[in-house]
Amino acid sequence: MKIDKIKKINFEEKLICYKITYVDSNFEKLVPLKEGNTDYQFILKWVADGNTIEEAD
């Protein structure tokens, strides 16, 4: 699946997780800010590759 966007999710104005959404899909992931989580590792690489995380609402 191709990533549509990755967005910051805040709780009480503090970053609490990321949301990954995909193109043409209702499937999504909420990713904790934990180094051992492979989705979190993917997000770090995705950013290192030049992509940008969308700010929280």
Partner 1 sequence: MALSKIDVANMLTGATPVANGGTAATTLAAAGLGKRPNAKPIFINGNMAVSQRRTSTTGQTGDGYHVVDRMNMLVTNCGTYTVAQEALTSGNAFANGFANAFRIDTTTADSSPASGDILAVQQIFEGQNVQMFKKGTANAEKFTLAFWVKSNKTGNGQVNLFDNDTSGNRLVGATYSISSANTWEHKVVNFPADTTGPLDDDNAKSFIVEWWLDSGTDYSSGAVPSAWEARSNTDRNAGGALQIARNTANDWAITGVQLEVGEYSSTTLPPFQHEDFGDNLNRCLRYFYRINPDADAAASIGEASYYSSSAAFVCLEFPVAMRDSPSLEQSTGTNYFNLNRNSANDNFNTFNNLNASDHTSAHLYISADISGTAGHGGRCRFENASARLAFSSEL
Residues lying near partner 1 in the complex (CB under 8 A) are found at: 1, 9, 11, 16-17, 26-32, 34, 36-40
For residue 28, what are its two tokens?
A: 């999504």
Q: Which is nearer to partner 1, 36 or 50 (CB)?
A: 36
Helix (H) or strand (E) holding 41: helix 38-48
Q: Which is nearer to partner 1, 26 or 52 (CB)?
A: 26
**Minimum CB distance to partner 1, residue 31 (Å):** 5
Residue 19 CA to residue 35 CA, distance in Å, equals 16
**Minimum CB distance to partner 1, residue 52 (Å):** 20
> What are the backbone angles phi and psi of residue 46, rounded to the nearest 5°?
-60, -40
